[in-house]
Amino acid sequence: MLYIIGLGLGDEKDITMRGLEAVKSCKKVYMEAYTSLLSFGLESHGLSNLEKLYGKTITLADREMVEEKAHHILEEALHSHVAFLVVGDPFGATTHTDLVVRAKKMGIHVQIVHNASVMNAIGICGLQLYRYGETVSIPFFTDSWRPDSFYEKIHSNRTMGLHTLCLLDIRVKEPTLESLARGRKAYEPPRYMTINTAIEQLLEVVQARQQPAYTEDTRCVGFARLGSEDQMIVAGTMKQLQSVDFGAPLHCLVITGNTHPLEEEMLEFYRCST
């Protein structure tokens, strides 16, 4: 049996009772380490909070490990209960479809334990979830690589009056160029895109366009550490949000479409004070 268990967005207390029961029944517990573990305090305190709560040792599984050693994890799941923990929901912003497909093909029984993900928790700002269009991802621009396919999607969404959730780039365990050349494993320090950088890139991309999909006066909502006790949510124009210090990651950004009066009332509570 393979349990894929969403941990929610905040800390160890955000697991559901169903999830906790499942973890406790498992012989082996893995935890994905390729989105962010920041909110779970794992960078500072190791896995101790979670391990204490579960009474289990947790093996961190980064992307490399899941790709290279999935077979090993799945072999274990053939013969005993194995838990694979993921931040948010198992099928939220980062998906684990590949692992599920492989498990099912091997005849392993897969149980999903759902939880909140950024895809629904953004509802807290008051913009209705059913008024969102396609979600976009904004990658870090480099000198030579500035992909802007997100622009057309934002354009379509705004043309239809829909809100757009922008997921911001996370670079964890990226091999250094040098290590790639030499065939040794060495990694860049982790990088998490801030709302400020995202807006800078968004405004750069729109500059050359006729009939721009948005301008620096377009209203947005910035979210930092969504679902955590110290979450920060600020509504304002792109220009306003660009000068807000949102603090530690993770950040994400919503570009508003047309808003209803009740949506307006909620946004008012989060309005940028500058």
Which C-beta is closer to a second copy: that of 123 or that of 212?
Answer: 123
| 25 near a second copy (CB under 8 A) | no
Site string for a second copy, 122-141 (x = CB under 8 A): -xx-x-xxxxxxxxxx----
Written as six digits, the tokens of 262 are 């009740």
Site for a second copy in 151-170 (CB under 8 A): 156, 160, 162, 167
Written as six digits, the tokens of 91 are 């099928």
Q: Is-contact 188 170, C-beta < 8 A?
A: no
| 181 near a second copy (CB under 8 A) | no
Which C-beta is closer to a second copy: that of 63 or that of 131?
Answer: 131
| 100 near a second copy (CB under 8 A) | yes
- 257: alpha, beta or left? (left if phi > 0; alpha if psi -120 to 50): beta
CB crowding 215-247: b at 16 or more within 10 Å, else e: eeebbbbbbbbbbbeeebbbbbbbebbbebebe
| 121 near a second copy (CB under 8 A) | yes
Written as six digits, the tokens of 53 are 């709560």
Shortest distance (Å) from residue 102 CB to a second copy: 10
| 107 near a second copy (CB under 8 A) | no
Which C-beta is closer to a second copy: that of 117 or that of 194?
Answer: 117
| 15 near a second copy (CB under 8 A) | yes
CA–CA separation, 223 vs 1, rounded Å?
Answer: 36
Which of the ranges 10-18, 72-80, 139-147, 208-216 carries the binding residues for a second copy, by CB under 8 A? 10-18
| 116 near a second copy (CB under 8 A) | yes
Site for a second copy in 199-238 (CB under 8 A): 227
Q: Which of 16, 49, 176, 237 binds a second copy (CB under 8 A)?
A: 16
Shortest distance (Å) from residue 187 CB to a second copy: 26
- 244: alpha, beta or left? (left if phi > 0; alpha if psi -120 to 50): beta
In three-state secondary structure terms, 196 is helix
In three-state secondary structure terms, 153 is helix
Tell me the number of residues near a second copy by CB under 8 A.
Answer: 55
Which C-beta is closer to a second copy: that of 11 or that of 194?
Answer: 11
CA–CA separation, 109 vs 1, rounded Å?
Answer: 5
Which C-beta is closer to a second copy: that of 92 or that of 222?
Answer: 92
3-state SS of 57-121 is: CEEEECHHHHHHHHHHHHHHHHHCCEEEEECECCECCCECHHHHHHHHHCCCCEEEECCCCHHHH
Shortest distance (Å) from residue 250 CB to a second copy: 15
Phi, psi (deg, nearest 5) at residue 251: -115, 150
CA–CA separation, 136 vs 163, rounded Å?
Answer: 11
| 20 near a second copy (CB under 8 A) | yes
- Contact residues: a second copy, CB under 8 A: 6, 8-10, 12-18, 20-21, 89-93, 95, 97-98, 100-101, 104, 112, 114-117, 119-121, 123-124, 126, 128-137, 156, 160, 162, 167, 227, 262-263, 265-266, 269
